[in-house]
A and B are shown apart, each in its own frame.
Chain A
């Protein structure tokens, strides 16, 4: 079955540490996205990529970095510069171009990151 896989499910980060969240999809989707969800807030876009080797900042990119070396993979690094990283991180993928307007996003099951 096609899907989108995030790992790990839970992640604990010490102060000053960089951590990388994995996101892999086998849906042959062109576009991939990273969102952050905090209690009582809507999903906020961190980074997105419409095509391999290209990505754009979303609304809250500061303290995060991404890469898109393969179509299937879009890892997110939470750097020590991100001052409040504790949140639920969701990766999503979609058809490219106008396809997303018809089919929306498919989400991974998320990673819960906690600073300890």
Chain B
């Protein structure tokens, strides 16, 4: 089993749609979770942390389900500028808190 798994997509959605991505992780002791956004041929940039109680930042909502070991990202009212690859990032405490990255989920928002 991979440490962090994401559906690679691609997800092609119309403007204004709501889209959700899931990410599963293998280490039940993980306690730090992030979503990063990566544009084509660019570096990843931090989108948001994921807190235990769930958190929202504008149109973006992140959730954590510890029992099932997954995190999710919900994007409401999709914009063309949301088109990117979204990376799930999770720490693994037994590796000195090394972070593992998912392969990313590709999103294209269509006019």
Contacts and interface: CB of A to CB of B under 8 A. Distances in A.
Interface residues of B, number: 25
29 contacts: A35-B101, A40-B103, A42-B100, A43-B44, A43-B101, A45-B98, A48-B98, A56-B96, A58-B98, A88-B41, A90-B44, A98-B97, A100-B32, A100-B97, A100-B99, A101-B31, A101-B32, A104-B36, A104-B46, A104-B49, A104-B89, A104-B99, A105-B44, A105-B46, A107-B43, A107-B44, A109-B43, A110-B43, A112-B41
B4 interface: yes
B101 A42 contact: yes
A41 interface: yes
A105 B99 contact: yes
B101 to A, nearest CB: 4
A56 to B, nearest CB: 8
B43 A90 contact: yes
Contacts, number: 53
Most buried by A among B98, B99, B101: B99
B4 to A, nearest CB: 7
Which of A35, A45, A102, A105 neighbours the largest number of chain B CB atoms within 10 Å of its CB?
Answer: A105
A11 to B, nearest CB: 15
Interface in A57-116: 58, 88, 90, 98, 100-102, 104-110, 112
A11 B53 CA distance: 44
Contacts of B99: 100, 104-105
B21 interface: no
Interface string B22-40: 0000000001101010000
Contacts of A107: 43-45
Contacts of B98: 45, 48, 58
A58 B36 CA distance: 21
B87 interface: yes
A94 B83 CA distance: 27
Contacts of A42: 4, 87, 100-104
